[in-house]
Amino acid sequence: MKLSWNPKQAEALSHRGSQLIIGPPGSGKTAMLVHLAEEALKKHGKGKVGWAAFSFRGLAALTQNYPHLAENLVHATMVEHAQNQLQAAGKEVKFCSNNNTRRILRTLMSAQGFTGTLHEAEHLIKNFKSRAKKVPESEAYYPFFQAYQKQLEQRGLSDRHDVLRNHLLAMRGGEAEPLPVKVLVLDNVQDATEIQLLWIRTHIGAGTTVLMAGDDDLTAFGRDGALGGKALEQIRDWPEVVTHSLSDTYRIPANLTGPITKVARMLKSRLDKTVTPHNKTHAEFAIHAFSTAEEEIAWLIDTAKKAATGKNAHVGIITRDDMSAHIMAHHMRRAGFPTGEYTRPLWDEPAAATVLSLLYLMLGHADEKHVRTALTGFGVPYATVKELEAGGLEITDWLKNGAPWPGVTTLTPATRAQLNHLGRQLVESYELFNGKKLNPRMVFKALVHDMLTHLPQAEHPYAILATEKLLSISGKLTEILPRLTEEMMPDTTSPIIIAPVREVRNQQFTTLFLPFFHQGKWPKTHYPVLGEDKEHERHLLYLALTRTGGDVHISHHHIPSSYIAELETALSSEAKRQQKAKK
């Protein structure tokens, strides 16, 4: 389908060379990048145009929405591009996955006395490692960061930040090449970090034409080092880059544009911009209050299913966090309605991975990693587990053989007693699980319940949900379980999309639902170490609301978010303004 462009869009599309397109949600930024990529392919040919995404799921929007374009592009996440170039230069890259990173962090949290949540630990490490300069030793939580770095070094691993930094240094030292493309495309560049900006800048310096688009109001990863408006300001100052600014939006309904954009206008720091709406649809903005979570979920399932039956319907259910998205997706599946899910895989969460490992152990199909994960889940220190493994812990038929421990002489009597008690508990559970006297599901639930006492309170919901999901599986578990941990591309063509807010960039919905809109969650306030970041939370709220091209439904069953009163006031003012304009 041939698109028609407004004058500002046409001006940007006629430019030849590196450029930055800044515009509000629904202004056509991504469509313009796609058009520019198509034109570049015509000129340079297949394999000479690259697309770098900031996340794995960000690639789904490209590969599923523009499959013919993706077939001819060199597309990957920025980190994957860097890793490929390092390997092409003969440099070994032993990558530390997100799952492995979280395991390391959870172990360090206990050892280092870190009192925050696992997600806070992730934010801290990502923020430190996203910087261009060395983190000063005087900075808070530097010892925790240093301990994490030491763990990576001891294991010979590189996380995503190391991979990008190593490629940057190798390019500067002439030891690795930039991406072998003539044109490189990056969307949502407001979420670039310092090290990512340097990587992009190096490609421009090497002669690559770089096409970028962004909107600082939509910054989703500020906690992780994303520069937001500062990134766009830096790029605007690059002499090789021409900036084009857009103001027309074709997505947000005109009667909602004022109240929604006011969310962004209240940000303390943002680039100046105007927003002119062109979607004349008169949309509903409704607030729904319920007494219980069960009532809210039942209403949401019923209403979302009805909304999804309309012509060209594309329904979005956006939550503040992964856990809420997992819960909604679980209930939608139980109601027999499949959805496209942009959630971080449940099994990437350490508590869920521990429950899964425990099930492998009960089935008698556990490998070394499963045993290690299960033991640490029951409170056995990681260092002790490594001692046991070095001492010859026999994994095969371990529980069937009575859970024998190797004769490690360095263990204290207290540790030996702890291991013996745990061994007896696991063997008894294994015999009951595989026997015929008790329901194995009840045995497994009881075992998980005991394990919860050793897990951080914040991780309990993940362990409980993982248990529910595992116990709802029908079929041969030994064949099904391995497929659970395979990370799949979300189905962007599904009539209903469920996603945490940070994963909804480049999405547009005919009807938008924001469930569990409670105080403490919108905005999220539970940051024991980092503290609340009101600017970050406002960015996320704006990102969520601007996904709508139609009706918006906000629901809650607890203390309503403070944002609700703010939005209701803005909506009332807009209604009065429109009434006055009609007179």
Q: Measure Cα distances from 400 to 353, 357, 423, 433 in Å.
A: 22, 16, 11, 12
pLDDT given for residue 473 in this prediction:
83
- 234 close to 20: Cβ distance less than 8 angstroms: no
pLDDT given for residue 548 in this prediction:
96
pLDDT given for residue 487 in this prediction:
58
512 vs 26: CA distance, rounded Å: 15
Nearest to 426 by CA among 454, 455, 456, 446: 446
408 vs 389: CA distance, rounded Å: 10
Q: In this model, does residue 537 exceed pLDDT 80?
A: yes
102 vs 125: CA distance, rounded Å: 11
- 19 close to 211: Cβ distance less than 8 angstroms: yes
- 297 close to 324: Cβ distance less than 8 angstroms: no
Q: Measure Cα distances from 459 to 61, 135, 471 in Å.
A: 30, 29, 19
Q: Which residues contact 336 (CB under 8 A, 6 or more apart)?
A: none
Instruction: Give the pLDDT band (50/70/90) at residue 1.
Output: very low
Mean of the pLDDT values across residues 239-244?
Answer: 97
Q: What is the DSSP string of 179-227?
A: -S-SEEEES-GGG--HHHHHHHHHHHHTT-EEEEEE-GGG---GGGT--
30 vs 34: CA distance, rounded Å: 6
> What is the dihedral angle through the alpha carbons of 425, 430, 436, 441, rounded to the nearest 10 degrees?
90
pTM of the full structure: 0.89
Instruction: Compute the half-sphere exposure of residue 337: CA atoms within 13 Å on the CB side of its CA.
Output: 21
118 vs 458: CA distance, rounded Å: 8
Q: Tokens 């046991």 — which residue?
A: 388
What value does the mean pLDDT of the chain take?
92
| Residue 330 φ then ψ, to 5° | -60, -45
Give tens-digit pLDDT for 75-90. Answer: 999 999 999 999 999 9
Give tens-digit pLDDT for 283-341. Answer: 999 999 999 999 999 999 999 999 999 888 999 999 999 999 999 998 998 888 888 88
Percent of the chain clearing pLDDT 70 (strictly above)? 98
Q: How many Cβ atoms sit within 10 Å of the Cβ of residue 440?
A: 17
Q: Which two structure tokens, joined as six digits, stand for 354?
A: 């521990």
Nearest to 505 by CA among 224, 175, 220, 310: 220
Nearest to 146 by CA among 157, 156, 134: 134
**In 3-state terms, what secondary structure has residue 386?**
helix
Q: In this model, does residue 109 exceed pLDDT 60?
A: yes
Q: How many Cβ atoms sit within 10 Å of the Cβ of residue 169?
A: 12
| Amino acid found at 409 | T
Buried b / exposed e across 107-121, counting CB within 10 Å, b at 16+? bbbeebebebbbbbb
Mean of the pLDDT values across residues 200-215?
Answer: 97
**In 3-state terms, what secondary structure has residue 230?**
helix
Q: In this model, does residue 547 exceed pLDDT 60?
A: yes
Q: In this model, does residue 132 exceed pLDDT 70?
A: yes
List alpha helices for 475-561, DSSP H: 477-484, 534-545
pLDDT given for residue 581 in this prediction:
76
Give tens-digit pLDDT for 495-512. Answer: 999 999 999 988 999 999
| Residue 360 φ then ψ, to 5° | -55, -40
If phi > 0 it is left, if psi is from -120 to 50 it is alpha, else beta; for residue 169 that is: alpha
pLDDT given for residue 67 in this prediction:
85
431 vs 174: CA distance, rounded Å: 60
